[in-house]
Copies of this chain bind each other. A is one copy, B any other.
Amino acid sequence: MTDLTVRTGQHAEFVDITAQVQRAVTESGVKQGVCCVFVPHTTCGITINENADPDVTADIIAALERAVPWVAPQYRHNEGNSAAHVKASLMGNSVQVLVRDGQLRLGTWQVIYLCEFDGPRTRKVWVLVNG
């Protein structure tokens, strides 16, 4: 089990953590299996999406904000970050990635993103590779 640290710099931001996760896979020594990448937070999530064009993650953030606005009359949680909790659950708090020959097996355009919805903060990511 490897614990990673990710520093986010914006209020809402997708941070590519693929290289850090690959390092954890390499250190695990597992050649074939499933890598579970888990975020132990409730206002950030994790997802896999495209990194070729940075507009894609900007558009995902904008579309999530349109669907779940930061300010809405129905929110009661007094910390004021209810939207971040919702978006975290929409993205999910873990991804599973197959491992082959000791490498994360991702599609051509795929990377693993930590999805910050209430930053900037220092976030933890836990990685376990089941061989």
* A interface residues (Cβ-Cβ under 8 A, vs B): 1, 32-34, 36, 38-42, 47-50, 53, 55-56, 58-60, 62-64, 66-68, 72, 74-79, 82-83, 85-86, 88-98, 100, 105-110, 124, 126, 128, 130
Give chain B nearest CB distance to A78 CB in angstroms: 7
Give chain B nearest CB distance to A30 CB in angstroms: 11
Number of this chain's copies in the assembly equals 3
Contacts of A41 in B (CB 8 A): 107, 109-110
Contacts of A40 in B (CB 8 A): 105-108, 110
Contact B93 A130 (CB under 8 A): no
Contact A86 B98 (CB under 8 A): no
